[in-house]
Structure formats: structure tokens, C-alpha cells
Amino acid sequence: MKKQHVKKTSLLISAAIISIAALNTNVHATDAVGFKAWNSGANVLNLGGSISATETGLQSAYSDNPLLNNSAWAHTGDWYTFQNNSQSDVTITVTGDSGFAPGVTVWATGGTAFDGGTTGFGGELSSAGFGTPHTFNATGAMGDAGTLWMANGNGGNALETLGYAVSGPSHTAGTGWGETILTGANDVSLTSTFENGVGGSTGANSASLVFDDLAPGWYAMYIGGTNNATAGGAFGLTVDSTVSPIPEPETYAMLLAGLGLVTWRLRNREKTLNLSVPA
């Protein structure tokens, strides 16, 4: 289901939401997953800047593993966290070699980095017979089966699943957690708290997600292969921040002209109505 994108009114609202989220962090987390390092150790994304990483991924850590009913396998994929410093358009791109068909999911965690979640929180068990996060739901909304181990107020501090991109085959039935896994870039966010739109694209060996007006705060990513028929291989990850385009002067001029015309027509209509009313 597509959500309606509503522009944020100010950075102060985003900051307030993130502060509240930070206070709600629970105490269940036991670092069920670990995190990979960024190149040069940089995990802070500044306005107009870029961060990157290089790794090697298994062929079906994200999806398409028949032993897990095609769900994700957290301990064989790669986890990253980063802090976005300014509200900006952000593009996340994963490019693999010929043996790697990537998948990537992004979650918002608000005022603190992802804490790693809790192993086997609440007795979560997939249809394949494995508990979280050995297998987990990488494509569902936060709170769905297979996500409680990382969800704020349950086993972790993740607030919302924003979007995912899969370059391998789709799986729409019989998955480990009942999740839907669709080829291409997919917006699965439930609100516009952290972004105003999710897009992207996929190719045989690439996957990207584009977030409009990504809010300041912390985000987590999971990356793995999505095609069990491949061999896996190396991949590069880049996260780019782009300054949102400022309307050209001509745009402002057109807007002002339009407002002037509307005002003129309303005044003329008012004069006409006044003249038509009997004294």
C-alpha cells in the first residue's frame, strides 16, 4: 500500500520525534548482530557528503535460501549503521560483482544507533523452524512477525522499516515469516516521520534506495545476496547526501504571478457580488 507523502514542516519536529524515540529505548537488547566498518571508519553522513564500505556477501543471506523458506539470515549478511546529520535527499547504492545479486533494507532508529536486537525475543519462530535473528523478516513493516527481536519496545530499538530493494527473484507466498519479498525498490514505511518518499532501482548486480528529505538521526542497513543460484561475491556500498534543489527564480516569479491573478479574480468577484445586491 502506498503511503501519502506529506512534507515536514520543520527540522524542529523531526528533532523532537528523535528525542522522544531515544527516551523509549528498551533494555532487552543483547547485541544479537554485529556491525561492519565503513571505509576510513566514517559513519556520519554530512550534508552533500558521502560514506562508503566494501565487503563480500553470500549468495542468499538476504533472501532465496530454501532452507529458511527464503527469509533473511542475519548472521551471514552485513549490517551497517550511519548517522544522517542534516535533512537531505539520500541515496544508498549497493553494487556487486557478477556473482552477487544484492538486497538491502533500511530501518530508522531515531536518536541512537541500532543496538543489535535480542536473540530469540518472545519465542519468535519461523515456518522453517528457526528463531530470530538466525532468520528474520527483512522486508516487513516493524512489528510484523520476524521483526520483534529488533523492534523498539520489544527486543531492540528499531522504529520503522523504511524501504528495501531486491535484485533477485520475488517470493510472495510460503516465506519463513509470511513476508512478501518483491524484486525492485519498495517503499514499506507506514509514516512520513523519517522521509517524504522512497524510490530506487535494481539491476542484475545492483540495488539502490532513494529517500526524499531523510530526517536527521540514526539508520541501520542489512545487505545480503538474493539469488541462491549465484556464487556470491564482493560488493561496494555508498551512501550519498544531496542538497535538496532550490527552486529557480523563475519558479518563484510564476508562483507570485499566479497568486496575484487569484487575488485579482477574487476581488473582482467580490465587487460583482456587491453590485448585484439590491440597496
Q: What pLDDT, on the 0 to 100 scale, is given for residue 29?
A: 62
Q: How large is the average pLDDT for residues 135-145?
A: 98
Overall average pLDDT of the 232-242 stretch: 98
Output the pLDDT for position 257: 61
Please tell me what DSSP assigns to residue 142: T
Mean residue pLDDT across the chain: 86
More confident position, 171 or 265: 171
The amino acid at residue 6 is: V
16 has pLDDT over 80 = no
What pLDDT shows up at residue 271? 53
Has residue 266 got a pLDDT over 60? Answer: no
Answer whether residue 147 shows pLDDT above 70. yes
Instruction: Give the 3-state secondary structure of residue 39.
Output: helix
Tell the residue number behind the cell numbers 527486543, with chain if given. Answer: 155
At 30, the pLDDT band (50, 70, 90 cuts) reads confident
What percent of the chain is modeled with pLDDT above 70?
77
Q: Pick the residue with more confidence: 275 or 170?
A: 170
The model's pTM is 0.81
Provide the 8-state DSSP code for 250: H
Q: With 0-12 CB in 10 A as exposed, 13-18 as middle and 19+ as buried, what is 169?
A: middle
pLDDT value, residue 64: 98
The average pLDDT across 207-217 equals 98
**pLDDT tops 50 at residue 14:** no
d(CA 234, CA 224): 11
User: Which of the residue ranges 1-15, 23-37, 173-187 has the most confident prediction, judged by mean pLDDT?
Assistant: 173-187
Lowest mean pLDDT among 30-34, 155-159, 234-238: 30-34
Q: What is the mean pLDDT of residues 14-23?
A: 37
- Pairwise CA distance, residues 26 & 278, whole Å: 71
Residue 214 pLDDT more than 60? Answer: yes
Q: Which tops the pLDDT comparison, 81 or 21?
A: 81
Closest C-alpha to 101, from 234, 245, 239, 263:
234
> In this predicted model, what pLDDT tens digit does every residue of 46-79 receive, in sequence order?
999 999 999 999 999 999 999 999 999 999 999 9
Distances (CA, A) of 186 to 3, 5, 51, 166, 211: 12, 15, 23, 9, 11
Choice among 127-136, 148-157, 247-256 with the minimum mean pLDDT: 247-256
Question: Would you state the pLDDT for residue 243?
Answer: 82
Q: Is 28 left (phi over 0), alpha (psi -120 to 50) or beta?
A: alpha
> What's the pLDDT tens digit per position in 160-178?
999 999 999 999 999 999 9
Alpha-carbon torsion angle 89, 211, 92, 180, nearest 10: 180
